Structure 1
Amino acid sequence: MKLIVLASHPVQYHAPVFRQMAQEIEAKGGECLVVYLSDFSIQGYRDRDFNTTFAWDEPLLEGYRSTFLNANAQEQPAGFRDLHAPGWIDILKAEKPTRILVTTLNYQGAVTATLQARLRGIPCTLRAETTDVSVVRSPMKDKVRSLIYRTSYSLFDSAIAFGEFNRQHLIRHGISPQRLGMAYFSVRDRTSEIPAPEKQHLRQNLRTSLGFNDAQTVLLFSGKLIPKKNPELILNAIAQLPPEIQQQLGVIFLGSGTLAEKLQLLAQQLAPLPIHFAGFKNQQELPPYYLAADVLVLPSQRQGEVWGLVVNEALQAGLPCIVTEAVGCTADFAHFPDFQTIPENDAIALAQALKPLLGKPRDFNRYQTQMQNYSIAACAHQMAEFLWDLK
C-alpha cells in the first residue's frame, strides 16, 4: 500500500499517531506520506480562542514523511475557502498512491483534493471530526446538513471512526458498517512517563505554590476560556454549595481566552476560595497541573465539542471527570468509575456531582488499564491495520 494522509495542518495530538502509523505501514513494506494543506501551526500563530500567540512545543514533523501545499502561512485559517490545494495533482502523479486517508472536509482544498483523487480512481477513506450531537440544529438545518454529508461521503469507500457518536454519524450518512473501522481519539500519555515518586512530588509542590492545602479537593478546568467550553459554570456551581463545602474546594483554570476577565471577576465573589488562573500552558507544561488536581470538570455547551481530548489527559492522570452531555466522548467513557455526565448549563447538577468526590484518595494509576485502548499506540495500530486490510 502507498498511503497519502491529507490533513489541514500539523496538530500536537495527531502528529504522534501519524508517526507511529507510518512506521507500522512501512514495517509491512508499504509507504506513507502526510500532506498538509498549511504549515501555520509550525510557523507559530495567534490562536483566536486561546487569545495568544505560540508554537507547539511538540516535534510535529519528526519520524514520518510530510510535505505542505501552502508553506509559510502566517495566519490560522478562518473559513472553508481559506485553504486550497496547489500542487496536489503533481503529488498524486509523483507518489502514485493506492489510497488516500482524508482527515478533514472543512476546507475547500480538502474537498477539491478528494475529488481529484477519485477522478483518478484512487480510493479514499474518511477520518473526520464530526458528530450529530455536538450542536443543536433546527430540523430544516439538520436535513440540509445530512444531504451535504451524504453527498460528500459518497466519495469514500470506507471510514475510520474516532468514537461512538462519530460512528453513528458515519453510518447515518451512508458509510457501510462493514467498511467502518474504529480508532479512538488519543493523546500522548505524559504522566506515565513520570516516575511514581516524582508524580507525588510534582503534585505537592504545585499545590503548595498555588495555595491549596492537602485536604482541599482541587477542580481543574483545562482548555480555552471561551463560551463553547462554558468554564463559568464551575464557579456558578460552587456558589450553589454551602460555605462548609466551599471551603473544601479549590479551582485551577488552565488555559486562556476571551472569558478570562469575566471569570476573574466571578472568582472574586467567591473569596476566600482559592482559585488560580494558570494561563496558557504548552504541552510539556501540563502534567503537574493534572497531577495536582483531584477532579476534571469540562462543562461544554453544544457548540461543537465533538470529543474533548482534555478528558483523555485527565483519565491518564487518574482524575475523576465531570462533563456535560455536550461533550462527545461521554458515550465512550461513561462506564469508567467516577465518570459523571450532567445536563448542559446545569449548575445545580454540577454542584451535586461534586459532593461524592470530596476528599477521595488520589490514585494516579486508577484508569491505566482502561486507557490502553485510547493510547497513541492503539490508535495508530488500529488505523494502520484497517487501512492495510483495505489495500
Structure 2
Amino acid sequence: MKKLAIVTTHPIQYYAPWFKLLADRNNVEVKVFYTWSQASDEVIDKTFGKTIKWDIPLLDGYAFEFLENISKDPGTHHKNGIDCPELNNKIENWKPDAILVFGWYLKSHLEVMKYFNGKIPVWFRGDSTLLDDTPGLRQVLRKYYLTYIYGFIDKAFYVGTENKKYFKSVGVKDSQLILAPHAIDNDRFNDSEEKDYEKLALKWRAELGFKPEDLVILFAGKFESKKQPDFLLKTVQKANKYLKQPLKLLLVGHGPLEKELLSLSEADFNIKFIPFQNQSKMPILYRLGNVFCLPSKGPGETWGLAVNEAMASSRPVIVSNKVGCASDVVKIGKNGYVFNYYDEPALIKIFNTLSISNLKTMGEVAQKDIEKWNFTAIVEALEDAF
C-alpha cells in the first residue's frame, strides 16, 4: 500500500474529516505531521481576539504526530512561526511514497519541499488566487519568486477555477495540476428528522426577536476589514430607507470591527448580534438567516468555505467578486448572487429582488449544487495521483 505523509499546521474542521476518510478507505496509508505543537488542543486566533477550541473531534480515525515547534512566536501569521527541526527526519524515517504539503511560506514546510525535491514526490495543496493582484514591479518580482518556489513540487492539487489560474500563472504545468475541490462536511450540515435543524433554527430566531415574515440576512465570520461587515451593515441600513418591509441583519462573530459595528447599529432594531459560535451550532446558525452574505473585499478571501456551509444548510448566498468560490459554486439567480465588492447600489438592487419564498427555492438548489463539492472528491484525487 502506498504511503502518504501530510504536512500541515494544526487540526481544523475542513481537513481532519477527509484525513479520516482517506484512512478509512484503506487504499492509501496516511500519516499527518502537525507542525504547530502549541495548537494541539486549542488555537489562539489573533484576528478573532480569542482562544478557539473546537467542540467536534478532529483527531479521530487517522495516524498523526505533533512535531515540536521551537518558534519563539508560534503560529501561521509569519514565516518563522513554524520551526520544527525534527520534521524532515521524522518524515524520512516513516518512508512515505509521496508528501503532501499545505502552505509553502512557513519555514519548516518550505524546508520539506526543498529537502525532498527529487527524492520523494512532493505534492502541494493551497488555495491562492489572482483576485487581489495589482500590476506593478512587486507583482512581477513575486511571480518570479513563486515560480522558483513551485519548482520544488511535482503535483499541485487545486481547489477551484481561480486557484488553477494562480498555479498556471506561476509556472505549474497542466500535467501537474489535479482538481481536489474545496469542501466541507456536507453531511454534518444537511438536515434530517433526527437533527431537526430547521425547527431548532426557528426557535432560536424567535428567541432573537425575529418574526416568521422577517427576511434575515446572515453574516457569520470575523469582524475584520477584508470581510466588510461594516459595508454590509451600512448597505442594509440604506436599503431599509426605501423598503416597505425592512430587512433584518444578523451578524455573528467577533473581531477588530466589533465596536464600530455596534456603534453603527445603535438604536437600529433591524440589526442584531450574537457572539462566535462553536462548530456543533453552525448547522443551526446558518438556518437563522434566509440568505447568507459574504461581502469581502480581500485581500485573502481565497475561497470562503462559509459559503459551502451555508449552501449545505440549504441557504442561498450573496458574495462579492473577491470571494474565490464565486466563479465555481454561485449560479447567479439560481442559488445566489455576485456583486462587485465596492458597488453598494448593486448590492441594494439584489436586496430589492429578495423574497422569502424565492430564497427558499434557491436554497434547495444551493444544497443540491454543493453536494459535488465533497470530501470524497478530494480523497479520490489523492488516490488517483498514485
Shared fold (TM-score, shorter chain, > 0.5): yes
1:12-23 to structure 2, matched below 5 A, reads 12-23=13-24
2:159 matches 1:181: no
The corresponding residue for 1:56 is 54
Aligned with residue 280 of structure 1, among 252, 261, 276 = 276
User: Structure 1: 5+ residue runs without aligned partners?
Assistant: none
2:125 matches 1:124: no
Report the Cα distance in structure 1 between the residues aligned to 2:38 and 2:376, rounded to whole angstroms: 27
2:294 matches 1:293: no
1:25-104 to structure 2, matched below 5 A, reads 27-28=26-27, 30-70=28-68, 76-104=75-103
Aligned-pair distance for 1:299? 0.8
Letter in structure 1 aligned against 2:213: A
Letter in structure 2 aligned against 1:296: F
Quickly say closer, same or farther: Cα 1:228–1:20, change in 2 above 3 A: same
Quickly say closer, same or farther: Cα 1:242–1:254, change in 2 above 3 A: closer
Report the Cα distance in structure 2 between the residues aligned to 1:241 and 1:128, rounded to whole angstroms: 38
Aligned with residue 248 of structure 1, among 240, 246, 249 = 246
Aligned-pair distance for 1:166? 0.5
Aligned-pair distance for 1:52? 1.3
Comparing 151-160 with 86-95, greater Cα deviation is found at: 86-95
The corresponding residue for 1:376 is 375
1:100-111 to structure 2, matched below 5 A, reads 100-111=99-110
CA contact (8 A) 1:298 1:323 kept: yes
Deviations, residues 107-142 of structure 1 (Å, cap 9, x unaligned): 0110011111126x1111111121111x24342111
Aligned with residue 339 of structure 1, among 328, 336, 339 = 336
The corresponding residue for 1:233 is 231
Aligned-pair distance for 1:15? 0.8
Aligned-pair distance for 1:227? 0.4
Report the Cα distance in structure 2 between the residues aligned to 1:110 and 1:221, rounded to whole angstroms: 33
The corresponding residue for 2:323 is 327
CA contact (8 A) 1:215 1:248 kept: no
CA contact (8 A) 1:256 1:280 kept: yes
The corresponding residue for 2:258 is 260
CA contact (8 A) 1:36 1:67 kept: yes
Percent identity over the alignment?
26
Report the Cα distance in structure 2 between the residues aligned to 1:334 and 1:252, rounded to whole angstroms: 22
Quickly say closer, same or farther: Cα 1:86–1:147, change in 2 above 3 A: same
1:88-237 to structure 2, matched below 5 A, reads 88-118=87-117, 121-133=119-131, 135-189=132-186, 190-195=188-193, 198-237=196-235
Aligned-pair distance for 1:351? 1.2
Aligned-pair distance for 1:309? 0.5
SS of 1:367's partner is helix
Aligned-pair distance for 1:102? 1.1
With structure 2 as the length reference, what TM-score do the two structures score? Answer: 0.92
Comparing 33-42 with 354-363, greater Cα deviation is found at: 354-363
Letter in structure 1 aligned against 2:179: M
User: Structure 2: 5+ residue runs without aligned partners?
Assistant: none
SS of 2:372's partner is helix
CA contact (8 A) 2:227 2:298 kept: no
The corresponding residue for 1:2 is 3
CA contact (8 A) 2:235 2:347 kept: yes
Letter in structure 1 aligned against 2:189: T
Quickly say closer, same or farther: Cα 1:321–1:375, change in 2 above 3 A: same
Give the length in aligned residue pairs. Answer: 380
Aligned-pair distance for 1:347? 2.0
Report the Cα distance in structure 1 between the residues aligned to 2:70 and 2:281, rounded to whole angstroms: 27
Report the Cα distance in structure 2 between the residues aligned to 1:245 and 1:81, rounded to whole angstroms: 51
Quickly say closer, same or farther: Cα 1:236–1:68, change in 2 above 3 A: same
Letter in structure 1 aligned against 2:383: A
Report the Cα distance in structure 2 between the residues aligned to 1:72 and 1:60, rounded to whole angstroms: 23
Report the Cα distance in structure 2 between the residues aligned to 1:317 and 1:33, rounded to whole angstroms: 31
Quickly say closer, same or farther: Cα 1:312–1:220, change in 2 above 3 A: same
Report the Cα distance in structure 1 between the residues aligned to 2:47 and 2:242, rounded to whole angstroms: 36
Aligned-pair distance for 1:23? 2.8
Letter in structure 2 aligned against 1:334: V
CA contact (8 A) 1:5 1:102 kept: yes
Report the Cα distance in structure 2 between the residues aligned to 1:191 and 1:77, rounded to whole angstroms: 28
Aligned-pair distance for 1:100? 0.8
Deviations, residues 360-387 of structure 1 (Å, cap 9, x unaligned): 35256433332121122332223332x3
Report the Cα distance in structure 1 between the residues aligned to 2:169 and 2:133, rounded to whole angstroms: 17
Report the Cα distance in structure 2 between the residues aligned to 1:353 and 1:41, rounded to whole angstroms: 41
Report the Cα distance in structure 2 between the residues aligned to 1:231 and 1:242, rounded to whole angstroms: 17
Aligned-pair distance for 1:343? 0.8
Deviations, residues 282-308 of structure 1 (Å, cap 9, x unaligned): 111112221121011101112110000
Report the Cα distance in structure 1 between the residues aligned to 2:314 and 2:157, rounded to whole angstroms: 28
The corresponding residue for 1:348 is 345
Letter in structure 1 aligned against 2:21: Q
CA-atom RMSD in angstroms: 2.1
CA contact (8 A) 1:240 1:348 kept: no
Letter in structure 2 aligned against 1:188: D
Aligned-pair distance for 1:326? 0.8
SS of 1:245's partner is coil
Quickly say closer, same or farther: Cα 1:157–1:178, change in 2 above 3 A: same
Structure showing greater relative contact order (alpha-carbon pairs closer than 8 Å, 6 or more residues apart): 1
